[in-house]
Structure 1
Amino acid sequence: MPGPTAELAVIGGSGFTALHDDVETVELDTPWGPPSGPIQLADVDGRTVAFLPRHGPGHRFPPHRVPYRANLWALRELGVARVLGPCAAGSLHPDRHPGDLVVLDQAVDRTWGRPDTYFEGPTVNHVSLADPYCPELRSALLAGAADGPLPVHDGGTVVVIQGPRFATRAESRLHREQGATVINMTQMPEAALARELGLCYASAALVTDYDTGVDDDPGVAPVTQAEVFATFEANIPKLRQVLLGALAAVPATRSCACAAAPGGLEPDVPT
């Protein structure tokens, strides 16, 4: 008999471990190993939505160890075509405050050593990532955040660092001077892998801190892990409200170009 399926998915960030109370749990394996944890399926306004905590139960995967390939592959196996991947982020500008939501439109990848592609050979596919976030899903996130509980900013560049350590002051200053809006550790390779699979992907970054502080306010201390987790957890009910609104705003059919990105090529499956 065919197994369960889902139309949409949410990958939860730091401390965000459930989208809905009434769920069915599914455990999957993939050619890339198991995903971060069991996948929760819930009915949201008549559509089945899959939810997967990015860092797994108990936050057991640090950013550089998250099984990104398995996570996206497992969602696609369930039939998911569109993924929302909210995340925690540090602000690189004094006008993006903790508690603000930034609907990202660009990314800079500063990670290294992470398995970051499905096309390991012999199939070769150079997928375009000029615009890493799906415009339709970005519009849905903005609709879900409109008049909502969190101040929202339309557009912003996230610089994705390797982690798990936070940035030095010099690194933070360099990222800011190069035009980054927020800093995060998990948006890559997640967004790139979604594109390789032809999935729509978008993210809203919840600002949890000011990274290394604010240059013109020496009273603002550099970020700590406790601060990130506490701010994110305090805002999870508000973020959940935004996401439920965004899911309701996702159109029934896709009219973006995300599905065409792989060019009909199927990734090589490891043996």
Structure 2
Amino acid sequence: MKHKADIGIIGGTGVYGVEGMRVTDKVRVKTAWGYPSDEITLAEYHEGDKAITLAFLPRHGKGHFIPPTKIPAHANLAALKMLGCEAVVSFSAVGSLKEEIPPGHFVLPSQVIDRTRHRRDTYFDEGIVVHVSFGDPMDNTLATILAGAIRQLSLPLAENETLICMEGPQFSTRAESKLYKSWGAGIINMSVLPEAKLARELELPYQMICMATDYDSWREHDHAVTADEIMAVVKKNSDNAQKVLKAALPHLAAKKGSLNSLIGSVKFGIITAPEKRPASLRKKYNTVLPGYF
């Protein structure tokens, strides 16, 4: 597929684009793993000699009709890779597990804990074995750029937090919420996995921007989190999220072409002997990692 985008943006609840950017195309990308959540909007940013094309993809589909467990994450990441994206920035509403991260705060997590149960979380489970490093699931370069944009806007920010990914769609029990808090985790959502794992398997640097909407269910003298409570905060958070992305664009554009430090990493994780790699799988994987198989 012809190169069409530089940075993939996976929008969470209420984040579907940036006002003022020129939309150049809307594409429906067919991948070897099916179609992504919705059509992908391509939009250009220009400032002087700096230019960048973003590929916006709504994680749950426009109108939020796909539940967390059913998100076609494999197709989502494959589509962004096929469009030529060299990195992915994603947005997500999260519950807070700490008093010092109140609703309205931005959080840039650096670690994740997987508490999902029903999600296929790898591309490589069909006959070719590949192991990739996932010790640091988020990308430091992207985190630095995004943190700078958040501070530039004087918005509250917590960094280097651990993000719990739960299955959903139900929210946590109080016992679960207290357990996660006891682990030292700072925030919780239903979206970061398998998204971050699949991005790593496609050599796409990845950073999630989290926006706290509630305190989950760990507070003894507070009611448990509800969906209407979350949505009341989402609107304000989504407005600020657009401002953050807009503030980050000049810095992302300046790094265009040099954001990806993962290139080649998957090639060295392929364990299956060449003669044991099925031709059909080699063809499939070469659509996203050309020449590796």
TM-score band by shorter chain is: over 0.9
1:132 alignment partner AA: P
SS in 2 for 1:247: helix
| 1:125-204 matched pairs, under 5 angstroms | 125-204=130-209
SS in 2 for 1:126: coil
| 1:1-271 matched pairs, under 5 angstroms | 3=2, 5-20=4-19, 22-23=22-23, 24-45=25-46, 46-215=51-220, 218=221, 220-250=222-252, 251-254=255-258, 257-263=261-267, 269=284
1:187 alignment partner AA: V
- Cα deviation for residue 213 of structure 1 reads 4.8
CA contact (8 A) 1:144 1:245 kept: yes
Quick one: distance in 1 between partners of 2:18 and 2:124?
32
Quick one: distance in 2 between partners of 1:245 and 1:28?
28
Quick one: distance in 2 between partners of 1:256 and 1:78?
15
- Cα deviation for residue 16 of structure 1 reads 1.8
Q: Which entry has the higher C-alpha Rg, 1 or 2?
A: 2
Quick one: distance in 2 between partners of 1:37 and 1:15?
15
- Cα deviation for residue 265 of structure 1 reads 6.7
SS in 2 for 1:104: strand
State the TM-score, normalizing by the size of structure 2: 0.86
2:225 alignment partner AA: V
Quick one: distance in 2 between partners of 1:150 and 1:186?
23
Quick one: distance in 2 between partners of 1:255 and 1:71?
20
- Cα deviation for residue 81 of structure 1 reads 1.1
Quick one: distance in 2 between partners of 1:134 and 1:97?
24
Quick one: distance in 2 between partners of 1:79 and 1:39?
13
Change (3 A) 1:255 1:8: closer
Quick one: distance in 2 between partners of 1:29 and 1:252?
26
| Runs (5+) with no aligned partner, structure 1 | none
Quick one: distance in 1 between partners of 2:264 and 2:145?
20
State the TM-score, normalizing by the size of structure 1: 0.92
- Cα deviation for residue 173 of structure 1 reads 0.3
Query: Which has the larger displacement, 192-201 or 108-117?
Result: 108-117
- Cα deviation for residue 235 of structure 1 reads 1.8
SS in 1 for 2:175: helix
Quick one: distance in 1 between partners of 2:32 and 2:105?
38
Quick one: distance in 2 between partners of 1:33 and 1:255?
27
- Cα deviation for residue 33 of structure 1 reads 0.9
2:90 alignment partner AA: G
Quick one: distance in 1 between partners of 2:260 and 2:3?
26
Change (3 A) 1:232 1:28: same
Quick one: distance in 2 between partners of 1:264 and 1:56?
35
Query: Which has the larger displacement, 247-256 or 114-123?
Result: 247-256
- Cα deviation for residue 133 of structure 1 reads 0.3
Q: How many residues end up aligned between the 2 structures?
A: 266
Change (3 A) 1:264 1:229: farther
Quick one: distance in 1 between partners of 2:120 and 2:18?
27
| Runs (5+) with no aligned partner, structure 2 | 271-280, 286-293
CA contact (8 A) 1:195 1:261 kept: no
Quick one: distance in 2 between partners of 1:263 and 1:4?
22
Quick one: distance in 1 between partners of 2:158 and 2:41?
29
